[in-house]
Amino acid sequence: MRLLPLVLLLLAWPSAADVVDTLCNRGTHFECPCNSCLDSELIRLESGAPVEWISVAFAHCNHLRRPLEEKIRAKVAGWINEECGSVLNCRKEGISQALQACNVVLGDFSCDERRNRILLGLVRNCSDGFAHGNLLPSSILGSVIQSREHLLSFVLNSDLISVLKERKFPATTSTTTTTTTTTTSTTTTTTRTPASSPSTTSAPRRPHPMPPTAFWPPWMSVAFEAFCGLSFVGFLLCCAAVRCLACDLNWQKLALGQWKHRHYKKATMELY
């Protein structure tokens, strides 16, 4: 009986199978297993071009379950609506109505000893496919996540390490034919290689993806804070200068005798 609580705790402890068995983007056109969404036919462009994701790296792994996956997409959609209503000009990017959880696409959720990462994308219309015309710029999603890092950290129950852009090429199955000339037979083999592999003959060679880049240099926030501080100090100095100038004018009038007693007549007293 003493070991019963320990056994129950071990049974309830999340494992790597939680990520494998969890479906990402449930109920949308992009529903896929969370551990292999990048290999899905639903999350790729018809031209085979790379898709630009927002990669969020965090410190501690919190195994993905269905409630957490739905909460992440719903929270991100809500934050975008708030920022579009106050700061961002989202109509310029084609966002004319409030986004929902189905507009946020979860591309990957890595939870292992080497890295803990989540890939996020954004589509304009939930009912359309994953095409160029339906993809929204990753800069909008990246700006919103960077401004709400503390809230996303609370949702993931972990400290965030970085928020970067990351391009991903789709992994496709291509056929490579190798012919060996001998006196007996000709051998043809079919292998599975990534689309960006130099040995692939059925697809054109694509350039290597650009390395992840930050949205703004790290010194930008320090410069902005310094500018605000200097502006506030300058405002205080201007107020003090105006005050001193007014005091000097009053003392000059008093010294020149321009202020006389008639300026300070007392009110007449009336007896009732």
Evaluate if residue 253 carries a pLDDT over 80: no
Compute CA distances 118 → 28, 154, 158, 221, 236, whole Å: 18, 15, 12, 25, 46
Higher pLDDT, 103 or 169: 103
pLDDT value of residue 217:
53
270 inside domain: no
pLDDT value of residue 251:
60
Evaluate if residue 31 carries a pLDDT over 60: yes
212 inside domain: no
70 inside domain: yes
Query: pLDDT for 48-84, tens place per residue?
Result: 778 888 999 888 876 677 788 889 999 999 999 998 8
5 inside domain: no
Query: pLDDT for 156-201, tens place per residue?
Result: 888 888 888 888 766 554 333 333 333 333 333 444 444 444 433 3
Highest mean pLDDT among 99-108, 198-207, 209-218, 253-262: 99-108
Query: How many domains are contained in the chain?
Result: 2
Q: How many residues does the chain have?
A: 272
Q: How far apart are CA 66 and CA 84, in angstroms?
A: 27
**Alpha helices, H only, 201-218:** none
Q: Rounded mean pLDDT of 37-52?
A: 76
15 inside domain: no
Higher pLDDT, 244 or 253: 244
